[in-house]
Amino acid sequence: MANYFNPGEEKIRPGVYFNYQKKEEEVTPGAVDGIAAVIFKSSMGPLGAVTVLSAKEGYKDIYGEGGTTDVLRETFYGGASKVIAVRVGNGGKAGMASLSCESGTVEIAAKYPGAAKFTVTVREKLTNSAQKECIVYLEGMEFEKVTFASGDNEAETLKKAFEASTNFTVTVKEATGAITAVSQTAFSGGEDPKCTNADYSTALAEVEKYYFNTICVDTTDAAVHALVAAFLDRIFQSGRFAIAVFASEQSKTLEERKKAAEGFDSEKVVFVLNANCSSGSEELKDYKVAAYIAGIIAATPSNESLTHTKLTRYSQLNELLTNSEIEDAELRGCLVLSLSANSDIWVDSGLNTLVNLEENQDAGWKKIRRVKTRNEVMYRANAAADELVGNIGNSTSDRAVIMTTIQGVLDDMVTEGKLSYADVTEDPDIPVDGDACGFEIDVIDLETAEHIYLTYFFRRSTAVPEEE
């Protein structure tokens, strides 16, 4: 894993170390896109641990649709192909239902704490009287079903049938004989976990173990947003590159929301200012809109801009801003939603919250597209170089191999339309000494035409001029 170094710093551990600098003239591992990390609350599913979800499989069979699982839904709507999901919280109790047998009882319980509304039915299988089926319903809809043999030891056969379940466990309480038939007997005792800021920190520690392009959370809490922003700054030091997308409560004034964006002043944070839309009759606000944008950013390749990306999820933008409001917001690092000339809802400009540049930054770090491109350059080049650590010498010819390897990655990105120029040379400021060597990677990442100026000339005469 690559780690960040400050110029002049000598590292202890063997490995690849990177930094970035501003070029005075402001003028192969493949890309990995479409991965979003999402932290949310639910009444079911694994707690405080990562589940990797795919767009194809979805999340409902694991986490249901309660709590703030809508943040998962919106991230997938945005185009994320994979989600690093963590249900956040602590404590709580798992619900259970007790089933009577001829002697004793058998208990079926949720594997994880939460107040999910489960009910259970046990009945003879209609097509085979030698078998029974146990059906667990969630909110009245069939959620999981198993088939087990009828007979004198139904409790044990039911337990065996649930062994592969990811959602439920069965405990036999000295039970013998047949299980008494029941119809939608409710689980009891389930309690949702509590949730504190410390739980979000715990969730972030789990997320850190995985690669992702973007991250979003199920809250407008500024303290949680600050935790995530600090987290991204920290993992950047270990060669992990990601962008967070936030929004404040839309009940706050426009000025309050602008100030919230200003507080980040980071290329790693995108702040959606007017996150207030509708999809048909459903109103979608703040963190839900942020999640949708996070999915879009994750899925958009780095050779494409977010500027004027149409948000087809929405049928209505509920907070329209004036031209002066938009200009002020964008100067202060806000991502603003606006309407096209055709009344399509789109991203006005693909900006992050960075306003005040560090000494090693140019203005390109203010654009989401260019941050994604630069993150990709560092990720892919670091990964290629990391494969060579410990496997190659430090002679002139060996260093040429390292440069050729990295150059190959960069050339691929030129071909992919992400860079217009890329060159690798030895770094004169890092002397070759023992096992240390350094390289300069000079790239020009591409920009999108976002300001097109048209000058019109109108004539009083109606005569068509002759061609010269």
Domain that holds residue 231: 35-88+194-347
Rg, Å, the chain Cα set: 28
Segment 311-337, tens digit of pLDDT: 999 999 999 999 999 999 999 999 999
Positive or negative, the Cα torsion across 95, 100, 106, 108? negative
Q: Do 82 and 152 form a contact (C-beta atoms < 8 A)?
A: no
Domain count, the chain: 3
Task: Judge if 199 and 182 occupy the same domain.
Answer: no
Do residue 401 and residue 430 come from a single domain? Answer: yes
Contact 206, 250 (CB under 8 A): no
The CA-atom distances, in angstroms, between 97 and each of 94, 106, 166 are 10, 9, 17
Which pLDDT score, from 0 to 100, does residue 22 have?
A: 59
Predicted local confidence at residue 27, as pLDDT = 36
pLDDT of residue 235: 94
CATH assignment of the domain containing 305: 3.30.1490.450
Q: Mark the ranges of the chain whose per-residue pLDDT is less than 70.
A: 1, 4, 8, 10-28, 452, 455, 467-468
Nearest to 335 by CA among 376, 369, 377, 375: 369
Pair 367, 427 in one domain: yes
Domain stops at, among 325, 347, 369: 347
Q: Please check whether residues 363 and 415 belong to one and the same domain.
A: yes
* 68 & 217 share domain: yes
What would the pLDDT profile of 150-178 be if each residue is shown by its tens digit?
988 899 999 999 999 999 999 998 888 99
State whether 326 and 369 are in the same domain. no
Q: What pLDDT, in 10s, does the model give residues 68-89?
A: 999 999 999 999 999 999 999 9
Residue 63 CA to residue 114 CA, distance in Å, equals: 10
pTM of the full structure: 0.88
Of 163, 186, 209, the residue that ends a domain is: 186
Same domain as 24, residue 103: no
pLDDT at 25: 46
Mutual angle of helices 368-386 and 396-415, in 10-degree steps: 150
End-of-domain residue from the set 186, 217, 244: 186
Do 383 and 420 lie in a common domain?
A: yes
Which amino acid is located at 121 in the chain?
T
Are 178 and 55 in the same domain? Answer: no
**Pair (67, 148) in one structural domain:** no
Assess if residue 455 is contained within a domain. no
How far, in Å, are 67, 109, 157 from residue 119 at the CA level?
Answer: 19, 11, 20
CATH number, position 157: 2.60.40.4290
Beta bridge partners of 279: 282
**Does residue 352 form part of some domain?**
no
- Residue 293 and residue 420 in one domain: no
457 in a domain, yes or no?
Answer: no
One-character DSSP codes across 136-162: EEETTEEEEEEEEE-STBHHHHHHHHT
For the chain, how far is it from start to end, CA to CA, in angstroms?
A: 64
Q: Are strands 214-217 and 243-246 parallel, antiparallel or unpaired?
A: parallel
Closest CA to 273 of 248, 308, 294: 248
Q: Give residue 26's pLDDT.
A: 40
For residues 214 and 250, membership in a common domain is answered with: yes
E strand or H helix at 287: helix 286-299
Q: What whole-number distance in Å separates Cα of residue 158 and Cα of residue 134?
A: 8
Query: Taking the CB of residue 207, how many other CB atoms lie within 10 A of it?
Result: 21
The one-letter amino acid at 285 = K
